[in-house]
Amino acid sequence: MFRDLTRKNKQITDAECIEVLTRETRGILAVNGDEGYPYAMPMNHFYHAEDGCIYFHCGRGGHREESLLRSDKVSVCERGTRAAEEWAYSVRSVIVFGRIEIIDDTDTVIRIARALSRKFTDDEAYIQGEIDSFASKTLLLRLTPAHMCGKLVKEA
């Protein structure tokens, strides 16, 4: 059902894809928007090695949530970064297709929000303050991958 990568000589391994998803903090989540238009937005994410899922958090309501209630099929694109010492871009990118579900369990929301927050800071007091203030208002999304592929692009 999913297409193979056209330029197979650029393909990276699943382990390299997971390393990009684990390291990077933001990706572009694309959902099926209004009237067949794709709706894509940058979002913070957390790759959970234990279940192989990608988690996103956001506020409740709006275009994204309405789109997900209509269709749970999504894709996420993670661009990766170039090496600081290189002038030309050498980018590992990953695209994941799958289905998203909304997670309502408060304990799971808090556990994943805490893990996601640690990608940005190790200030536990700050993290706890954010959880205390926003956990009840957070929409947690779990993307279960159906297909993942990645490639290395060297521009030099």
Nearest to 14 by CA among 96, 84, 83, 87: 96
State how far the Cα of 60 lies from the Cα of 130, in Å rounded to an integer: 16
Residue 150 host element (H or E): strand 138-154
Coil, strand, or helix at residue 149? Answer: strand
Instruction: Return the bridge partners of 28, or none.
Output: 42, 77
pLDDT of residue 81: 65
Model's pTM, two decimal places?
A: 0.89
> Could you list the mean pLDDT of each consecutive 10-residue stretch along the chain, which spans 156 residues?
86 93 92 94 94 93 93 88 71 92 93 93 95 92 96 79
